[in-house]
Structure 1
Amino acid sequence: MAAVDSQARADRGPGAEVPTLAGNPLLGSLLDLKSDSLGTYLRAQAQHGDVVRITAGPPGLRAELYCVFSAEGAQQVLAAQSANFRKDNTFYQEVRDSFGNGLLTSQDEDYLRQRRLVQPLFTKRRVDGYAGAVADETQATLTRWAQAPGGVVDVSDEMMELALRAVARILFGTDVDATVDVVDRCFPVITEYVLRRGYSPANVPRNWPTPGNRRAAAAMDELYAVCDRIIAERRASAGTADGTGEDLLGLLSSAGSTQDGEFDAAELRDQVLIFLLAGHETTATSLAFSLHLLGRHPEHQARAREEVLRVLGDRTPEAADLERLPYLTRVLKEAMRLYPAAPVIGRGSVAATEVAGHAIPAGSDVILSPWVTHRHPQYWPDPERFDPDRFTPEAEAERPRYAWFPFGGGPRACIGQHFSMLESVIALAMLLRAYEFEAVDADIPVSAGITLRTEGPMRCRIRGLAG
């Protein structure tokens, strides 16, 4: 028995045993995670602290999740020991099988090569050149809102369309409408399929002709076809995008080096699909919740609008205005704290290790949750309160680096975070200058999908402002 215990400790690694969240004797916390995973993670942290084990599923198919909720733990997993925590789990494999092996899902040399090829396309100077396209799409939204029935809009739907049109325009130049129609139709089918399979204890093979497999395959075929068509046309004749000289697909097509070669057509499609997925849903979530929160807090809305009017007047915002709108940027950061677009981040541990004095075994599913860490009372007093001044430079300097990590961190940090901030601040500035917002739906139920999902409308009453 002593030898068995010694071997178990060796497999588990150094540190104390991780406390386990109480669950159903047969299914563990499976039903709780299915009905409210974010609430379950919050409860686990409140009851057991910053490293908690959660079990889910019946015996024989039971998953064990090692949840890490502290800023220091997040830094260890994402940055300091990132090589020990890989994107090796069922969920990432399902995303990979559906949306390709792009920057979000690739690993090892594939990822390093892709990152080297793509990095020059996301320099600050290059990204700043997309400000004009964002402003144009925001103006199109404002024009459409002038006909809003009853002066009420669902900001979740509206920001999803704005962000999708902006990223499609920057990716494809003039090929926006066809792309947006296909993404609107196909993405929900594919993401639901990924979620269902990613969180299921067992799945049938994808090539079995079940109704769910056939629906997802048809959606993927349609999505892949439109991307392949545009890629083939672009490789035959270089494209341009308004205000940038070249669209992102044109730049991706010509990206290359002696060391890394260039992307072939299949690799280009993988990058495009990941950029479409990660580049619009995340930004749309941040924009929608910023408007919703301002619609519930008119004093903060008035302060942000005063800054916008003082800095911009009537002119179109540009990239340089990002630094001139510090309060509006704080509003956005606080919205991203309360409603991080990626509320849960998964990794797989390669070797046994210790996190915050607790043993994480090799081969474990490790869960980080910005949703929980962004509400951790150690870093955020009165955490549910909306307060943009949490993000003054002085306040930020007093907190651990990973108390706020909506873009992930470490070597796998989101390559598009500057673009997301630029797009969001420009769009918010133009929307607040033109309209006053009043939240119609006070409480917005949410759930964790590939990104944060709203479970119902997020309506705001809008009133046009003179000038």
Structure 2
Amino acid sequence: MTTPSTNIPGPTGLPLLGSMLDLKRDSLGTYLNAHREHGDIVRFTAGPPGLRVELYAVFSAEGAQQVLATDSANFRKDNAFYQEVRESFGNGLLTSQDEDYLRQRRLVQPLFTRRRVDGYAQAVTGETASLLASWRDAPDATVDVVDEMTRLTLRAVARILFGVDVEAAVDVVERCFPVIGNYTLQRGYSPVNPPRNWPTPANRKAASAMDELYAVCDRIIEKRRADGDSATGDDLLTLLAQAESAEDGSLDASEIRDQVLVFLLAGHETTATSLAFALHLLARHPEHQARARDEAVRVLSGRTPEAYDLDALPYLTQVLKEAMRLYPAGPVIGRQTVAAAEIGGHTIPAGKDVIVAPWVTHRHPRYWEEPERFDPERFTPELEKERPRYAWFPFGGGPRACIGQHFSMLESVLALSMILRAYELEAVDLDVPVDTGITLRAAGPARCRLRPLDKEGEGNVPNG
């Protein structure tokens, strides 16, 4: 039996700062380079003496499965980054742990069954139709698909959450979320932070944004809870306010707000990333775009898509899965070890920060031939069965897998089918740089030129 090695390889970095500057400048590129040079388990040191930290990266599919699933109890969300997310967005499903998480999951899970989620399709298609109508007046017949998909997914998830109160929430979320997200990110990756209650400019700006966001959520929640059993809406907020069980009781107002904030964060930014990059990739690869459009036209025959169409659109689903392989919305997932862990022939000590990285594993040459090439054929059922389960994990995995993954796929496929049937897209920006926020985000424009099509996906329609 081979004894696990405690001598884990990794980049030396700078004498005083280790890999801190590389990780700050380009964390995703740094992880890719480290994988190529050092293998599936890599140790990073970062920060000045006295504040230096160790970070262990696990890049294999088998290692990711161990961290997220088989040994998940030994890898907790105890790192500094998750603590900052808790402080900003509450202790909802994304950040809660132990009994808090289990109780919340039991109460919320019934709201995310496939049957329930399929009922949200009309909100998605309605918002998509409005977006497509607005594109008729796009200057120079050109749109930035990142901005447009962010607007679409925010409006869709806000309508599903807030129902008739959607307009009261959307403007506040659009204004406040970027401020809170950037603030959380800066604190999450900084070795030293001033207390949040110190009156620094950054603290004051973020506190103002959080106060405004919390206030609009609290007003709508108070209204729903006051309606009680007489509430007739089928929006998610009404269902959250009514959720209860003999074992777990019900969610109080602050718990409902925490779930709403997490759903807003995870429910629009992640899906927007997947949709935007799917469109951009199709705009760069017209042969795949034509095939996806042909499928949408053939299946839908000019009608508005419904939830039941999802299974009849396999190529569109493959396109989205390949976009999520190349551009996973959660490119890095962090944990912290409770006890020492043996992974891939190495021992990671207790109490250490560990990451698994879909960004790297999705490009691992052991699982993906020519990994940088866009090829939806990778996701035929036959090829999916041949790969390890965690060669592709854009929704995380194990007991903490994203509760909204069916909703994300439903929203993405329905929206994409409508967009491709209405417009042909040509990429203006061929390369779109990315960086890491709380989720993956474009660091530059992803503009596409639009050519309107008729209802059958052919010919020209007057633009205006």
TM-score bin, normalised by smaller chain: over 0.9
Q: CA deviation at 1:176?
A: 1.3
Q: Secondary structure at the match of 2:247?
A: coil
1:87-120 residue CA offsets vs partner (Å, 9 max, x unmatched): 0100000000000000000000000000000000
* Equivalent position of 2:459 in the other structure: none
Which residue of structure 1 aligns with residue 239 of structure 2? 251
> Counterparts of 1:174 and 1:88 in 2: how far apart (Å)?
38
- Map of 1:10 onto structure 2: none
Match of 1:352 among 340, 349, 355: 340
Match of 2:110 in 1: 120
Distance in 1 between the 2:90 and 2:168 partners? 21
Q: Does 1:32 align with 2:33?
A: no
CA contact (8 A) 2:13 2:19 kept: yes
Q: Cα distance, 1:227 vs. partner?
A: 0.2
- Aligned twin of 1:292: 280
**2:66 maps to 1:56:** no
Q: Where does residue 277 of structure 1 map in the other structure?
A: 265
Q: Deviations over 1:332-359 (max 9, x none)?
A: 0000000000000000000001100011
Residue 183 (structure 2) aligns with: 193
The separation in 1 between residues aligned to 2:149 and 2:275, in whole angstroms, is 6
Aligned to 1:42: 32
Judge conservation of contact 1:240–1:247 (CA < 8 Å) in 2.
no
1:108-147 → structure 2 map (5 Å cutoff):
108-147=98-137
The alpha-carbon deviation at position 177 of structure 1 amounts to: 1.7
Q: Does 1:311 align with 2:299?
A: yes
Q: Deviations over 1:112-171 (max 9, x none)?
A: 000000000000000000011100000010111111111000100000000000000000
The alpha-carbon distance between structure 1 residues 310 and 445, as it changes in their structure 2 partners (threshold 3 A), is same
Q: Which residue of 245, 250, 260 corresponds with 1:262?
A: 250
Residue 173 (structure 1) aligns with: 163
Report whether the alignment pairs 1:223 with 2:220: no
Say whether 1:98 aligns with 2:96: no
Paired residues of 1:173 and 1:240 also in contact (CA < 8 A): no
- What residue is the counterpart of 2:372 in the other structure? 384
SS of 1:220's equivalent in the other structure is helix
Residue 3 of structure 1 corresponds to which residue in structure 2?
none
* Deviations 1:426-456 (CA, angstroms, capped at 9, x unpaired): 0000000000001110111101110001111
Matched residue, 1:418? 406
State how far apart, in whole Å, the 1-side matches of 2:84 and 2:207 are: 13
Q: Aligned equivalents of 1:325 and 1:36: distance in 2?
A: 36
The 8 Å contact of residues 100 and 273 in structure 1, kept in 2 or not, is answered as yes
Q: TM-score, normalised by structure 2?
A: 0.96
Q: Does the Cα contact within 8 Å between 1:84 and 1:349 map onto a contact in 2?
A: yes
Distance in 2 of aligned mates of 1:175 and 1:420: 22
Query: For the residues of structure 2 that align with 1:324 and 1:211, how far apart are their CA atoms?
Result: 52
Deviation per residue, 1:224-261 (Å, 9 max, x gap): 000000001111226999xx961000000000011101
User: 2:350 matched to which residue of 1?
Assistant: 362
What code does the residue aligned with 1:312 have?
L
Question: Could you say what secondary structure the match of 1:167 adopts?
Answer: helix
Match of 1:72 among 49, 57, 62: 62
Matched, 1:436 2:436: no
Q: Which amino acid aligns with 1:234?
A: R
Equivalent pair of 1:113/1:260 in contact (CA under 8 Å): yes
Partner residue, 1:86 = 76
- Report the CA distance between 1:15 and its aligned residue: 3.4
Does the 8 Å contact 2:61/2:390 carry over to 1? Answer: yes
Q: Please give the secondary structure, in 2, of the residue aligned with 1:354.
A: strand
Task: Return the letter of the residue paired with 2:77.
Answer: K
SS of residue in 2 equivalent to 1:390: helix
The SS at the match of 2:336 is strand
Q: Is the 8 A contact 1:287 1:424 kept in 2?
A: yes
Alpha-carbon distance, 1:178 to partner: 2.0
1:34 is displaced (CA, Å) by 0.8
Q: SS of the counterpart of 1:237?
A: helix
What is the one-letter code of the residue matched to 1:165?
R
Identical residues among aligned pairs (%): 75
Give the alignment partner of residue 445 of structure 1, picking from 423, 430, 433. Answer: 433
CA distance in 2, matches of 1:239, 1:136: 28
Structure 1: how far apart are the matches of 2:435 and 2:52?
22
CA distance in 2, matches of 1:239, 1:41: 51
1:21 aligns with 2:14: no
Check the 8 A contact 1:308/1:429 in 2, yes or no.
yes
How many residues matched?
453
Q: Report SS of the residue matched to 1:160.
A: helix
In 2 relative to 1, CA 275–239 (structure 1 residues): closer, same or farther, beyond 3 Å?
farther
User: Shift in Å at residue 22 of structure 1?
Assistant: 2.1
Task: Please tell me whether the aligned partners of residues 228 and 242 of structure 2 are also in contact (alpha carbons under 8 angstroms).
Answer: no
State whether structure 2 residue 314 is matched by structure 1 residue 332.
no
**What SS class does the counterpart of residue 376 from structure 1 fall into?**
coil
Q: Does 1:149 align with 2:148?
A: no
- Give 3-state SS (helix, strand or coil) of 2:312's partner: coil
Say if 1:240 and 1:250, in contact at 8 Å, map to a contact too: no
**In structure 2, what is the Cα distance between the partners aligned to 1:405 and 1:22?**
29
Work out whether residues 6 and 348 of structure 2, in 8 Å CA contact, stay in contact via their aligned partners in 1: no
CA separation in 1, counterparts of 2:250 and 2:280?
Answer: 43
Of the three residues 190, 193, 203, the one matched with 1:213 is: 203
Partner SS, residue 234 of structure 1? helix
Q: Distance in 1 between matches of 2:290 and 2:343?
A: 44
Is 1:204 matched with 2:194? yes
1:427 pairs with one of 411, 415, 436: 415
Give the distance between the partners of 1:175 and 1:146, measured in 2 at CA. Answer: 27
Give distance in 1, aligned partners of 2:143 and 2:390. 35
In the alignment, the residues of structure 2 paired with residue 364 and residue 240 of structure 1 have an alpha-carbon distance, to the nearest angstrom, of 50
Residue 153 of structure 2 is matched in structure 1 by: 163
